[in-house]
Amino acid sequence: MEFSGLSGEAILNTLGLIIPLLIALVVVVLAFQFGFYQLLAKAFKTKHALPYTLLAPAAVALLIFMIYPLVFNVLLAFSDLKRNTFPCYSPVLRRPADLDCSVLYSPEYAANNFLSVFFRIRNGEISRDSEGNVQLGRLLRTPDSTFPVLLGRTAVWTAVNVIFHFVLGMALALIMNQKIRFKGLYRALIVVPWAIPGVIVALTWRQEFHAQYGFVNALISAFGGQPISWLDDPTAAFIAVIFVNIWLGVPFYMVMILGGLQSINPEYYEAAQMDGASAVQRFRGITIPLLRPILIPAVTLDVIWTFNKADLIFIMTGGGPQESTNILVTALYNAAFGPAATSEFGFAAAFSIIIFIILFFFAVIWITTSGGLKEVYDR
């Protein structure tokens, strides 16, 4: 029996290779935990040997998959690693005689990498035009693909998505919190976009926005409108990817807010209603304050996820047309690894650190000014 080029024999052969590796991994983890427990219990004689042992695999995974890549990325920003200097940083490749590998990491490399994100660098200095004006760095192929332009587009992309996520998610949560028939069915249908893998969603909506055969233009034509070349027009393409990301993100807010609404004691609303408070006053005075511990983390996560949302844009538009749908993270990938890139990994590392700094300061300022941790501090 063969399905899509896969035969039963090929599947069994693959399983024969994978299963022993999984068994070996389990054995290694168990041996590590046993040895670690013996070390803590017998050598250090700590009473917390068992909790530390159970946490050890997670700590090792955190160190390998998060801490080490972060430290390596910072180190990479201090390098001149790119396509033509790759042999200098490889312990395997042979270094050409004409390649200078005397300095691998230096502050000068870091300064050049970070400044290249914002300005055009020539011979280690910021380039200026004939009138003496500083020339901004071009991160992509189009003349206006500078950091300020991409940052502004990313800010618009993030703000529009998060606002619609919040407003529509809140509205749906308030509706689902009422006593209505078939409420369970409605909840399941609303959560469907969130449950579908993002790749499938992007591929599906890409076809639905097709200029000739897509459902969106068919619907517009049915109401007497003119079809739009959604993925060929810069503005229309940006609107299309925003629409799809809104459709994807609303269920997350609905689930989070609905859980918070169901945890609010109904007696608060009854007491406020007896005092003559209107529905708007009850919403502003009871619902929003009691939902703050849920809304602040939800908005923070949504901003970070949306700011870094690259897969949807890659699949639907590839950053086009004319690189009009690129945001900072897609520009980072295209500048470092895209068709016109020179594989400047040190520059890409510096670019990613700048994006991280932007999000870090946003999270700190947003959480501290919005009062999201006020209840924690009051305890």
pLDDT at 309: 92
Instruction: Select from 299, 171, 153 the least CA-distant residue to 237.
Output: 153
- Backbone φ, ψ for residue 2 (5° rounding): -135, 135
pTM: 0.85
DSSP string, 74-131: HHHHTB--STTTHHHH-SSSPPPTT---S-SB-HHHHHHHHHHHHB-EETTEE-B-TT
pLDDT at 73: 93
Measured between alpha carbons, how far is 30 from 28 in angstroms, rounded to an integer? 6
One domain, residues 155 and 35: no
Q: Which residues contact 129 (CB under 8 A, 6 or more apart)?
A: 135
3-state secondary structure of 197: coil
- Whether residue 122 lies inside any domain: the answer is yes
- CA 371 → CA 110, 262, 301, 377, distances in Å? 37, 22, 16, 10
| Tens of pLDDT, residue by residue, the chain (379 residues) | 544 555 677 778 888 889 999 999 899 989 999 999 999 998 888 888 999 999 998 899 899 999 999 999 999 999 988 888 888 888 888 888 888 888 889 999 999 999 988 888 776 677 777 777 777 777 777 777 889 999 999 999 999 999 999 999 999 999 998 888 888 888 888 888 888 888 899 999 999 999 888 999 999 999 999 999 999 999 999 999 999 999 999 999 999 999 999 989 989 999 999 989 998 999 999 999 889 888 998 999 999 999 999 999 989 998 888 888 999 998 888 777 766 556 788 888 999 999 999 999 999 998 888 876 665 445 4
18, 132: one domain? no
Judge whether 69 lies within some domain. Answer: no
On whether residue 356 sits in a domain, the answer given is yes
Tokens 């690693």 correspond to what residue? 81
218 and 296, same structural domain? yes
30 lies in which domain range?
2-59
Residues 17 and 156 in one domain: no
Same domain, 46 and 133: no
In a domain, 133, yes or no: yes
- Asked whether residue 362 is domain-assigned, the answer is yes
The pLDDT value recorded for residue 5 is: 54
Where does the chain show beta strands of DSSP type E?
Answer: 2-3, 6-7, 121-122, 125-126
**Residues 128 and 35 reside in one and the same domain:** no
Residue 142 in domain: no
**At 355, which CATH number?**
1.10.3720.10
Dihedral (CA of 363, 364, 369, 373) sign: positive
- Asked whether residue 71 is domain-assigned, the answer is no
Contact 324, 234 (CB under 8 A): yes
Contact 174, 154 (CB under 8 A): no
| Same structural domain, 309 and 347 | yes
Residue 66 lies in a domain: no
252/187 Cα distance (integer angstroms): 12
Give the separation between CA 322 and CA 144, rounded to whole angstroms: 10
Residues 6+ apart with CB under 8 A from 325: 234, 237, 238, 241, 313, 316, 317, 319
318 phi-psi bin (left φ>0, alpha ψ -120 to 50, beta other): left
Q: Which of 299, 370, 314, 358 is nearest to 148 (CA)?
A: 358
* Same domain (yes/no): 240, 102: no
287 and 163 part of one domain: yes
- Same domain, yes or no, for 216 and 242? yes
Pair (369, 314) in one structural domain: yes
Q: Are 108 and 236 in a shared domain?
A: no
Number of compact structural domains in the chain: 3
